[in-house]
Structure 1
């Protein structure tokens, strides 16, 4: 596994753990509400069936 794949696997493991151990929208947690940046970007994706990030 290359360096980038190792980093991505580690990040996925962290997020899987985080979302398994915490409840979305729970008062007092950082998951209480969506991140402002994400909310601001959602309208830009409207009408795009399969959004993706170019990895070039």
Structure 2
């Protein structure tokens, strides 16, 4: 496994565990609200007829 594949696998493992062990949008959690950067970028997609964003 090369370095990039190793990093991707480690990141996937981290995220899988994170979302398995935490509840999205739970009050008091860092997953409680959307990421500001994502929200700030939404205006660039105003002309799209349909948009689905996980963080929103």
Alignment TM-score > 0.5, same fold: yes
The total of aligned residue pairs comes to: 48
Any stretches of 5+ residues in structure 2 without a counterpart? 49-56
Q: Unpaired segments of 5 or more residues in structure 1? A: 48-56
Q: TM-score, normalised by structure 2?
A: 0.72
Runs of 4+ in 1 over 4 A off after TM superposition: none
* Larger RCO, structure (CA 8 Å, separation 6 or more): 2
| TM-score normalised by structure 1 residue count | 0.72
RMSD: 1.7
